[in-house]
Structure 1
Amino acid sequence: MSLWADKYRPTALARLDFHRDQAAQLRNLLVVSQPPRSPPAGAGRWEVELPSCDPRGPPAPSEGRGGWFSPQKGRLTVQCGDFPHLLVYGPSGAGKKTRIMCLLRELYGAGVEKLRIEHQTITAPSKKKIEISTIASNYHLEVNPSDAGNSDRVVIQELLKTVAQSQQLETSTQRDFKVVLLTEVDKLTKDAQHALRRTMEKYMATCRLILCCNSMSKIIAPIQSRCLAVRVPAPSIEDICHVLSSVCKKEGLTLPQDLARQLAEKSGRNLRKALLMCEACRVQQYPFTSDQDIPETDWEVYLRETANAIVSQQTPQRLLEVRGRLYELLTHCIPPEIIMKGLLTELLNNCDGQLKGEVAQMAAFYEHRLQLGSKAIYHLEAFVAKFMALYKKFMEDGLEDMIF
């Protein structure tokens, strides 16, 4: 029995429930047929709208991007079945992976959904062995290089080299290239990103890259300039309500509109989270009611209790207890950025209005240091200690004013 989020995931660009204009533009990148070996004539061109002031300039056919540039139209004419490197970015739960898999299905057919998990061992120059898990089909490879930590550069170089040097056996029925999907590329080290830039240039003829991330701000400019950037915005509240109602209808359930809106708002416009919450509500109670409780995840409740513990007492002993609770969250794979954001939200709800601006500024400072560092617990604990000192001083000053 599969989750609703997986069971009802669209498998074609034409079946997407929101951002359909963007899906149509993605579909224009390719037509499921064998790409021609020469420029298509006049009326037979497939074109993708791109800004005529693209700083990269017109691509040459020798670059392997499969296109011819028309200065008069300011358009890039793309061969059917071919596309450039893609950089797909947007918030979690917006549908980035769904759109990527739909694109691959239109390119390669249903075979792209026959996935297998592979465990590969890569030997670094220092003789250190790195184990990495990949998800692959006969046509594409999906990997998260940041799982290798500081050895992500070696993983990228070796995997892309292996994939790019393996030629397709039947080029008459298959594409001339395989696709490598790299997830969470915004978590790669700078060395790995520079290695990725060199590798994507070298193996362009036999390998296409699709990079997936939440934000482009941590990706170096040379990689951004070599990819066609596709931003996938978060779905609107109305879009999420429509999807929830549609899924419940397929399951034979009746979902009140008020409850659907509550789910959409509480999920933070994260469609995957909204579907999981809706399914949890179904397990908890059916028929649905507009005022029923929406179950929360355990880590969210745990984080709220941690914030309450910080506000209730400010002592070294309590700081040690909070440190242990933060460790507990990190060991259960809750991202430190999510912990910082959740702590800030709960602390702002519990502190005085005069402190909110300073607390938000503190959180921004330590979140920035969190991104630069490699040990998340240091920066999370520093933020908690700083808040405790600020909050205790504020409470003591307020008490003195009341006495005198």
Structure 2
Amino acid sequence: MLWIDKYRPRTLDDLVINQEFGSSLKKLVSSGDCPHLLFYGPPGAGKKTLIIGLLRQIYGPAVEKIKVETKPWKIALPSRNIEIELTTVQSNYHVEMNPSDVGNQDRHIVQEVIKDMCKNRPLELKGARSYKILLLNEVDRLSREAQHSLRRTMEKYSATCRLIFSCSNVSKVIDPLRSRCLCIRVAAPTLPQIEQVLEHVAEQAGVEVPGKLRTNIAQKSERNLRRALLMLETCRVMQNPMTDDQQPQLPDWELYIQEIAKDIFQEQSPKQLYAVRGKLYELLVNCLPPELILRKLALALMRTLDDEVRHKCIDLAAAYEHRLQEGQKAIYHLEAFVAKMMSEYKTWSIAVLG
């Protein structure tokens, strides 16, 4: 088991950071009822850890007895019947799912599958907590139709079900959905907080982390706690005992994106564009979000670009990031960004370098 899961805080009292949120959530639960909640913040800020602690605070340790189930759902539409396969993580008290995994069929998941789950009240729970919790991850990636469908579900089944949403970009969640939830912003941890967590995890794992290496990992983590813990464990696997001059290893996919950036500078031709497209496909089939690929590729390009071309790279990255949200095929927009950048770079190099 990875350290990020093995040493994750299980209760709100075990939190190393975000302790103020833990105290507020405990008071919320002690009031006897729990509203619909929306946790939002950057990746690696601790949203999932807070939600796990909240579930245990409500239902006790029995909520950790979970099972992973992939189930096909048959949905009858007016014109045809469709079958959607969805993976859920569930206990007797909660269900966790990611409806955006099914793409443009997510509205059917909201309309049919979630409604079916909300109708079933936990039999062994009585009193004020006789409700089931439905946890939806990446709700900001849901289509507009799916988000509007959730409005009615939240109102109709509020007696038997509470919804907890988790997302990175709250601006992509419609206003009617946000107004029905208690919104909790989980900010990215500061560098001293990341160092504090690294020291805490290292102490639990029985390893010693030099202070300079701990600071170096925190700086390269981009304030992402999940990334920092994975880098710490990678350093532990590569070298034991760890030393001050040891360099944290970047993820393989990030090094691969840096290779793509070098390919763009090396040659600007249809043949090179075709080769880059194959590498982009490889990143997508390994389940990397296209928005992350685009952002990391733009940053890798800007480290080498001249100031005259750098602002064009930023404009293009912003434009194609917007197109990614509107379109269905991510590869089209990623390839178009690469083609446009090749054109801009070649035009600049001919004009300046001859």
The TM-score normalised by the length of structure 1 is 0.85
Q: Which runs of 5+ in 2 are unaligned?
A: none
1:16 partner amino acid: L
1:323 partner amino acid: R
C-alpha distance in 1, partners of 2:212/2:246?
Answer: 10
Task: Give aligned-pair identity as a percent.
Answer: 49
Offset at 1:168?
2.9
> Which of 36, 41, 45 is equivalent to 1:90?
41
C-alpha distance in 2, partners of 1:119/1:254?
Answer: 41
Offset at 1:88?
0.6
Structure 1 segments, 4+ long, off by >3 Å, are 170-174
Between stretches 19-28 and 321-330, larger displacement belongs to 19-28
The answer to whether the Cα contact below 8 Å between 2:33 and 2:128 also exists between their aligned partners in 1 is: no
Offset at 1:173?
7.2
Q: SS where residue 129 of structure 2 aligns? A: coil
Q: SS where residue 93 of structure 1 aligns? A: coil
Offset at 1:171?
4.0
**Counterparts of 1:3-402 in structure 2 under 5 Å?**
3-31=2-30, 80-124=31-75, 125=77, 126-172=80-126, 175-400=129-354
Across the two proteins, how many residue pairs are aligned to each other?
351
2:302 partner amino acid: L
Offset at 1:134?
0.5
Q: SS where residue 30 of structure 1 aligns? A: helix
User: Corresponding residue for 1:39?
Assistant: none
Offset at 1:399?
2.9
2:5 partner amino acid: D
C-alpha distance in 1, partners of 2:121/2:204?
Answer: 43
The answer to whether the Cα contact below 8 Å between 2:4 and 2:229 also exists between their aligned partners in 1 is: yes
C-alpha distance in 1, partners of 2:312/2:123?
Answer: 62
C-alpha distance in 1, partners of 2:41/2:153?
Answer: 24
Between stretches 307-316 and 351-360, larger displacement belongs to 351-360
C-alpha distance in 2, partners of 1:175/1:26?
Answer: 15
The answer to whether the Cα contact below 8 Å between 1:168 and 1:174 also exists between their aligned partners in 2 is: no
The answer to whether the Cα contact below 8 Å between 1:108 and 1:174 also exists between their aligned partners in 2 is: no
Offset at 1:175?
2.4
Q: Which runs of 5+ in 1 are unaligned?
A: 32-79
Offset at 1:157?
2.2
1:13 partner amino acid: L
C-alpha distance in 1, partners of 2:125/2:202?
Answer: 43
Superposed CA RMSD in Å reads: 1.3
C-alpha distance in 1, partners of 2:211/2:327?
Answer: 44
Offset at 1:174?
8.1
C-alpha distance in 2, partners of 1:143/1:171?
Answer: 22
**CA deviation digits over 1:30-67, x for unaligned, max 9?**
12xxxxxxxxxxxxxxxxxxxxxxxxxxxxxxxxxxxx
Q: Which has the larger radius of gyration?
A: 1
The answer to whether the Cα contact below 8 Å between 1:255 and 1:288 also exists between their aligned partners in 2 is: yes
C-alpha distance in 1, partners of 2:81/2:239?
Answer: 56
